[in-house]
Amino acid sequence: MSPMHWDWLVWFLKANVIYGGLLGTAAGMTLAERKVSAWMQYRHGPNRVGPWGLLQPIADGVKFIFKESLTPDGANKWLFRCAPALAAIPSMLTIAVIPMGPAIPFIPGDYKYFSITDLDIGLMYLLSIGGLSIYGIILGSWASNSKFSLLGGLRASAQMISYELTLILSILAVVTLTGSLDLRDAVAAQSGAIWEWHVFSQPLAFILFSIAAFAETNRHPFDFAECEPELVSGFHTEYSSMRFAMFALGEYCAMVVIASLWTTLFLGGYNVPFWEDAPWFLCIGAFLAKTSIFLFLFLWVRWTLPRFRFDQLMALGWKVFLPLALANLFLTGAAVSYGVKLW
């Protein structure tokens, strides 16, 4: 086969492996969520389907497929059907630019980077496409013709706009240090010793990003789009069956993506600390390990902290996080432009 065909084959392989991994992780997270919550509450969690309940996600999937998909009376049917896909697709698309490993010899002697694609504007792409997942929530909530859904959608849109600012500004501080929007450059800048990681040179941005990540993925303690005690189930109150599952899938995929972004920007990506020429499988292992730390943090925080109040969330976002992020960006920019080594 010609080299071009090889390229296509490698690309096909990479895309399949990465998307399979993403969806598999998302499915695994639904089980992990129930297991971790159970363990924190002296329970066992699901343990009936398969060994230790490991096949539970499959059972859930089958159940979702066979349930009846209801459309409420008075709903905008076209939008109602589109919304779950709109919520799920953007968060799945964004995984494409995350560099998950160094160059790998897919074919002996022919090294290819282990990421679906590398863009000069990888971060811009990730943020812009990732920001679109809110449309699924808003349109779904509006099309449901239900007051609980509408309130959930309203809260989600206000919350996303507010915390996207903090998220982007904290990322920009890191971008200022590396001087590139290409995520692979961000990883390269953190190679070598562990103190090269941006978590040490940008601790404030690290904390702000972590908190804003919870708000962006609609996770506890900021899950105001759902908010069971007040809004029944928020934006997906009226959804059932596979449509509901698509919303859940979108949420979990967004969690996986933001956890990998967290790893890439702050924890050195796929670098193995103190070993610059680590073999590629160790690099991928390091990436997965670091990502799973943050995925666990998502679950851990959810089952520890109570939900905020909505006005507290807004006040926190605009009066605390935004000024902090701006100040951090300003200081970083000043330090970089005057050549001060921060770390």
Partner 1 sequence: MAEVFFYALSALAVLFALGVVLAKSPMMSVLNLLGSFFCLSVIYLLAGFQFMAAAQILVYAGAILVLFLFVIMLLNLGDISAHSTGFLGALRSTGAKIGVAVAVAIGLALLISVNLGMLGLKPAESLPDGIDGMTGIATELFGRYALPFEAVSVLLLATMVAVVVLAKRQRPGTDARKS
Partner 2 sequence: MVIVRRKDLSLLEKLYLPEIARGLSITFRKLFEKKITRQYPEEPLPTNEVTRGQPRLVVKDDGHIACVSCGMCEIACPAYAITIDGGETDRAIEREPVRFDIDMLRCILCGFCEEACPKDAIYMSNELELADYSRAALVYDMEKLKRPKAALQKRIDYVYRLNNRWRKSSSTR
The answer to whether 312 contacts partner 2 (rule: CB under 8 A) is: no
The answer to whether 119 contacts partner 1 (rule: CB under 8 A) is: yes
Q: Quote the Cα angle for 80-151-217, to 5°.
A: 75
Q: How far apart are CA 98 and CA 183, in angstroms?
A: 7
Quote the tokens at residue 305.
């902290």
The answer to whether 39 contacts partner 2 (rule: CB under 8 A) is: yes
Out of 83, 100, 104, 134, the residue judged to bind partner 1 by CB under 8 A:
134
Q: How far apart are CA 292 and CA 37, in angstroms?
A: 16
Out of 37, 69, 71, 157, the residue judged to bind partner 1 by CB under 8 A:
157
The answer to whether 107 contacts partner 1 (rule: CB under 8 A) is: no
- Closer of 43 and 319 to partner 2 (Cβ): 43
- Closer of 186 and 299 to partner 1 (Cβ): 186
Q: How far apart are CA 70 and CA 145, in angstroms?
A: 13
C-alpha to C-alpha distances, 39 to 27, 261, 303, nearest whole angstrom? 19, 28, 10
Tell me how far, at minimum, the Cβ of 147 lies from partner 2, in Å. 32
305 binds, among partner 2, partner 1, none (CB under 5 to 8 A by kind): partner 2
Tell me how far, at minimum, the Cβ of 210 lies from partner 2, in Å. 10
- Closer of 2 and 41 to partner 2 (Cβ): 41
For 271, the 3-state DSSP assignment is: coil
Tell me how far, at minimum, the Cβ of 124 lies from partner 1, in Å. 4
- Closer of 10 and 119 to partner 1 (Cβ): 119
C-beta separation of 220 from 307 below 8 A = yes
The answer to whether 322 contacts partner 2 (rule: CB under 8 A) is: no
The answer to whether 125 contacts partner 1 (rule: CB under 8 A) is: yes
Sign of CA dihedral 139, 140, 144, 148: negative
- Closer of 229 and 306 to partner 2 (Cβ): 306
Tell me how far, at minimum, the Cβ of 243 lies from partner 2, in Å. 32
234-251 exposure pattern, b = at least 16 Cβ within 10 A, e = fewer: bbbbbbbbebbbbbbbbb
Binding to partner 1 (CB under 8 A) within 164-193 occurs at 164, 181
Out of 139, 253, 255, 259, the residue judged to bind partner 1 by CB under 8 A:
139
C-beta separation of 270 from 286 below 8 A = yes
**């005690």: which residue's tokens?**
229
139 binds, among partner 2, partner 1, none (CB under 5 to 8 A by kind): partner 1
Judged by CB under 8 A, the stretch of 146-154, 191-199, 222-230, 305-313 that binds partner 1 is 146-154
Contacts 24+ apart (CB under 8 A), 31-38: 31/56, 31/57, 32/295, 32/296, 32/299, 33/299, 33/302, 36/296, 36/299, 36/300, 36/303, 37/299, 37/302, 37/303
The answer to whether 15 contacts partner 2 (rule: CB under 8 A) is: no
127 binds, among partner 2, partner 1, none (CB under 5 to 8 A by kind): partner 1
Sign of CA dihedral 307, 310, 313, 317: positive
Q: How far apart are CA 30 and CA 246, in angstroms?
A: 13
Per-residue string for binding with partner 1, 58-77, x by CB under 8 A? ------------------x-
157 binds, among partner 1, partner 2, none (CB under 5 to 8 A by kind): partner 1
Beta bridge partners of 107: 110
List residues near partner 1 by CB under 8 A. 76, 79, 119-121, 124-125, 127-129, 131-132, 134-135, 138-139, 142, 150, 153-154, 157-158, 160-161, 164, 181
